[in-house]
Amino acid sequence: MSPITRLSLLIASLCALVSHPLGAEVLLYGKMNVALVYVDQGAGAPPTGGQTTWFRGFGLNDNRAVRPWLLNPFITTPRGPANRLGLEGSKDLGEGIKVLFKVELGFSLADSNNDAFNIKASETLTMRNTYLGLGGTWGRLLLGRQDTPFKSSTAPLDLFINTLGDSASTLGFQNYRLDNAIYYASPSLSGLKLAAAIIPGGGATLPGGINPDASHLAEAFSLSAIYAQGPLYASLAFETTSTALSDPATYGNAASWRKWRLGLGLLDWRGLSVTGMFEHWDHAFWEDDHNADLWQLQLGYRLGRFQLKARMGGNQQGGEYELLAPVCCDLLAEDDFAFQSWALGGDYYFSHQTKLFLVYSANLADPLVQATSGKTYDLLDWHGAQFGISHAF
């Protein structure tokens, strides 16, 4: 059975559930996006060997990287919008308690595996936020696959989210969706919301694989506090990932990777939006002496159906870090390695749910050094443009 057939059957099943909710309040929702993308990656020729691939050209891209690299987390990757289809609902259990559930799937519309003619027919459905839990006046307790509070804390502040100018895929802001999450979210307290998640290791590594030492209830945890009142938005978040979730053979006994993030914004005040984010890492990538500071500023102005927006930001790394060593090239990002990113964009809204979007984004990075030869390569420089349509339902 093809993935498209499976998706059709899934949609039909979800519609049937919505039509016959069996006493539950059920919402079928989704978002679909597709865009024509042009990306020009780097300058000059990359080192030979491994799986490194050069890219320059057009693609019809929705939710996968145009640039087919095997990448470390802070190497940026131009991306397109993320498609999703979900079923979310609740059922009253009495005494002020409800059961809460969500099943959300991600899927690709085009160019999902850099296979423009779908020769391999390798389209796949992916699991997004999917959970079961309880809710009441005291808040929500959810078990399952979740965006961490750290990730969610600044989602409203990224005017370029899920486009070629996304702050995570251009500047490397750390946004995880993790399995095994035990998640609590408080009710609104005069505009203040608190959230916390602990992630049992489950005998697994964070990159993927088996790690018998990941046996604790909280191998990682994530915390956030968000204040939202009218156009004002402020958030503070903290997250740590222990070495037990990384690969001991690769990372040894390095300290936990700790991150904190500050977000501030004035959102849609008479059409004007101004946002800022700052993120700091300690023991990044589980390296004892590796740290980083990331920042970005965004500006948007909406006039009628049009919104114009701009972004600038940077990522300053401290401490030497080796890149792509398992697959290619033995490249080093040396002490005080840095890159900058900027983007310009515009949206045209047919309605609150449907828009056209146009984005131009560029990254400029320090060159990487090949340890064996001393040669430098501008592998992290790229620029590109994206024109697409988005519809939410």
Residue 81 has pLDDT above 60, yes or no: no
Q: How far is CA 85 from CA 31, 98, 103, 145, 180, in A?
A: 7, 23, 8, 15, 21
User: Looking at residue 78, what is its pLDDT?
Assistant: 45
pLDDT of 308: 97
Is a pLDDT exceeding 90 seen at residue 219?
A: no
What's the distance, CA 165 to chain centroid? 12
Q: What is the mean pLDDT of the chain?
A: 78
Mean pLDDT of 153-173: 89
pLDDT tier at 107, thresholds 50, 70, 90: confident
What domain range includes position 341? 3-392
- Mean pLDDT, to the nearest integer, of 291-318? 93
362: tokens are 């560029």
Query: In total, how many domains does the chain have?
Result: 1
Average pLDDT estimate for 185-214: 81
Residue 29 has what pLDDT?
93
Q: Give residue 215's pLDDT.
A: 72
Mean pLDDT to the nearest integer, 301-323: 86
Mean pLDDT of the 244-270 span: 79
Which has the higher per-residue pLDDT, 307 or 334?
307
Please give the pLDDT value at position 305. Answer: 95
Residues 309-313 have a mean pLDDT of: 96
Q: Rounded CA gap, 322 and 325, in Å? A: 7
Reported pTM: 0.83
Choice between 327 and 96, residue whose per-residue pLDDT is larger: 96
More confident residue, 218 or 10: 218
* Pick from 68-82, 239-253, 268-282: least confident: 68-82
Q: At 266, is the pLDDT very low, low, confident or very high (cuts 50, 70, 90)?
A: very high
pLDDT at 191 over 80: yes
**Which CATH number is 42's domain given?**
2.40.160.10
Region 224-245: what's the mean pLDDT?
A: 90
Binned at pLDDT 50, 70 and 90, residue 321 comes out as low
Q: In the prediction, which pLDDT does 24 show?
A: 67
Range in 53-62, 201-210, 224-233, 301-310 the model is least confident about: 53-62
pLDDT of 103 > 80? The answer is yes
More confident residue, 56 or 7: 7
pLDDT for 359 beyond 90: yes
Lowest-pLDDT range of 15-19, 81-85, 297-301: 15-19
**All residues at 6 or more sequence positions from 354 whose CB lies less than 8 Å from its CB, including other chains:** 389, 390, 391, 392
What integer is the mean pLDDT of 248-264?
A: 78
Assess whether pLDDT exceeds 80 at residue 109. no
